[in-house]
Amino acid sequence: MRINIKSLGYAALAVVLMVLVGLISARFILPTGVFVAPWAGIIALAVLLAAGVGDALGVAIVSLVIMFLTGTADLVAIVAILLTVVILAWLVGWQLRDRTVTHQQLIFLGLIAGLLQLVLIEGGLAIAGLCFDGQGATALAYVRLGLSTSILTALLYAVLTPLLGLVARWLWRHWVAPVDSDNKE
């Protein structure tokens, strides 16, 4: 198996961007600590749409481990990002194996990513509230406190996933595109 240096550089750039976006993401206070909005996952989804499933999962896992170790992401954000990337990777790998993603499919995948983020973040906050003291009222308080950031995150995923996917695909085609083995220029 041959490692493409340009592909490795592309993935390293995506990891750095994901960690940097994780540093500047919005934070809001919950009774048990600070929740970080998982905006960094948009970059992993852009890599998914440009480079493929393997690169996207690698970038997501490495970035999320770094973000967890540096304290820039909490468990709810990490699980939401990872599940969104895995579900969209499954969808892209299952439905769109041999053809490129069209603009309409990019928009659809962006909407799916936004809805997944909203559901996963709110579900994670509800579970965190239940784990706090076992009361349903606490879970609803967590959900209510996180609703504005969850909606903002979902809207950003829905809008920015197609745009960053196009930019990432353009960069992939012009910087990392495979060289024809018969015509070594």
Domain boundaries along the sequence of the chain: 5-175
Question: For residue 40, what pLDDT is reported?
Answer: 87
Q: Which two tokens stand for residue 23?
A: 């540093």
Question: For residue 33, what pLDDT is reported?
Answer: 63
In the chain, % of residues over pLDDT 70 = 86
The class of domain 5-175 in CATH terms is mainly alpha
The CA distance from 37 to 23, in Å, is 10
Q: How far is CA 145 from CA 82, 122, 151, in A?
A: 23, 10, 11
Question: For residue 157, what pLDDT is reported?
Answer: 93
Q: What is the pTM of this model?
A: 0.85
- pLDDT at residue 96 tops 70: no
Structure confidence by residue, pLDDT tens digits, 30-89: 665 666 678 889 999 999 888 888 889 999 999 999 999 988 888 888 999 999 999 999
> Do residues 34 and 74 make contact, with C-beta atoms less than 8 angstroms apart?
yes
